[in-house]
Homo-oligomer: A and B are copies of this chain.
Amino acid sequence: MSSSPDLPHPERSEISLTGVLFALSDPERLAIARQLVDGPLDMAECHLSNPNVPKSTKSHLMKVLRTSGVVRNEANGRARRLSLRREDLDAKFPGLLDAVLSAET
C-alpha cells in the first residue's frame, strides 16, 4: 500500500506572494516550475540544468517550491509526483503564474 512520507503543504490561505516570488526567483527552481506547466511529472523526469547536482540538493529545491505553495509533491509508488498548484495560485494571484512562466528568460 501507500506510501512514502506525506510531506506538508501550505493551505491555499497560507500561501504568500513574497514566498512564491522568492521560490521562483532562483533560475533552477523557475526551470523546474516551467517543466510542470504541461502537467505533473515524476521527480526523476524533472531535469536540472546541471545534471550533476546531488539528489539532496534537488530535493531541497523541491522543498522550497513545495513549502512556498508553488508545487505539490505527492507520493507515487516509490517516486514523487510533482505538480504545479495552478488552481490555488491562479485563485490567489491572478495572472501571476502565467506572467512568470510565459516570460522570456
Give A residues with C-beta under 8 Å from B.
Answer: 16-19, 21-22, 24-27, 30, 92-96, 98-100, 102-105
Contacts and interface: CB of A to CB of B under 8 A. Distances in A.
Interface SS of chain A: helix, strand, loop or mixed?
helix
> In the assembly, how many copies of this chain are there?
2
A55 to B, nearest CB: 23
Nearest to A105: B17
Contacts of A102: 94
B100 A96 contact: yes
A55 B16 CA distance: 27
A25 B30 contact: no
B95 A95 contact: yes
Contacts of A30: 17-18, 21
